Amino acid sequence: MKKLETIDILNAVRSGEFSPEEAMLKLRMQPYEDLGYARVDHHRELRQGIAEVIYGEGKTAEQISGIASAMIDKGQETILITRMSVELAKEVMKNHTMKYHELARVGIIGEMPEPNGIGTVVVATGGTTDLPVAEEAALTAEALGNEVIRLYDVGVAGLHRLLSKMDVIMKAQVIVAVAGMEGALPSVMGGLVDVPVIAVPASIGYGASFGGLSALLTMINSCASGVCVMNIDNGFGGGYLASMINHQRRPL
């Protein structure tokens, strides 16, 4: 059966053929745009509340530019591109005005939205070497409309640094805790707060850390309740989930 165009769905609502609820369901099931090398899901924001994000690693500059152009044509105002090298970013910037954040390897086309979440998202790190992952999380959350507070280098090797920021931590709506080595920071924070803690293991540490696997296992085995765990170095996933939590509101 041929998929209905948006105008057909709206006309069906006007004629009484569809209820508004039925129309919304059909709009959410609308197709993607096929570019040949990518199928751009323009209706993702309607279904999930968050528009599609471009994963840059493994894509060419031409592919990223083409996907971004398709998004812009459909009215997307902020486009987030993750895992971009400096060289790739320079090529994309020949076609689009983009702000590139080298530490996080993140590119953003368009303006950052005004924060509209319930509260603040705190992004914390165990050490300075965790910053690339943490910045990916922080920028992701900001691009999705969240106020972000950064607490960097507050790991358990000097716990007083974390405890001196309890006023900030206790006011957070959700926390993203990034740590390598043994990955203890999320457990500590999980025992201090009454909000979700999203643990992100970083691939930082000496040989027995196994490229972040040690931190990952520590976080999965946390005895603190309310801690959920992302994959190794997945700052984007942490920032994305934090945004979802920070935008949860009770139904009217």
Whose CA is closest to 132, among 95, 180, 62, 197?
180
Spatial CB neighbours of 86, under 8 Å, sequence gap ≥ 6? 100, 102
pLDDT in tens, the chain (252 residues): 234 466 677 788 888 888 888 777 766 656 666 677 777 777 676 666 777 889 999 999 999 999 999 888 878 889 999 999 999 999 999 999 999 999 999 999 999 999 999 999 999 999 999 999 999 999 999 999 999 999 999 988 888 998 888 999 999 999 999 999 988 999 999 999 999 999 999 998 898 889 999 999 999 999 899 999 999 999 999 999 999 999 987 655
What residues does each domain of the chain span?
27-110, 120-246
CB-count exposure of residue 180 (10 Å: 0-12, 13-18, 19+): buried
d(CA 234, CA 55): 12
d(CA 178, CA 135): 10
d(CA 189, CA 197): 7
d(CA 52, CA 17): 31
CATH-assigned architecture of domain 120-246? 3-Layer(aba) Sandwich (3.40)
d(CA 26, CA 29): 5
Instruction: Please report, as a single letter, which amino acid is at residue 44.
Output: R
Which residues partner with 80 through β-bridges? 108
189 sits in which H/E element: helix 185-190
Q: Can you read off the two tokens belonging to residue 33?
A: 């745009």
CB-count exposure of residue 204 (10 Å: 0-12, 13-18, 19+): buried
* Global pTM value: 0.84
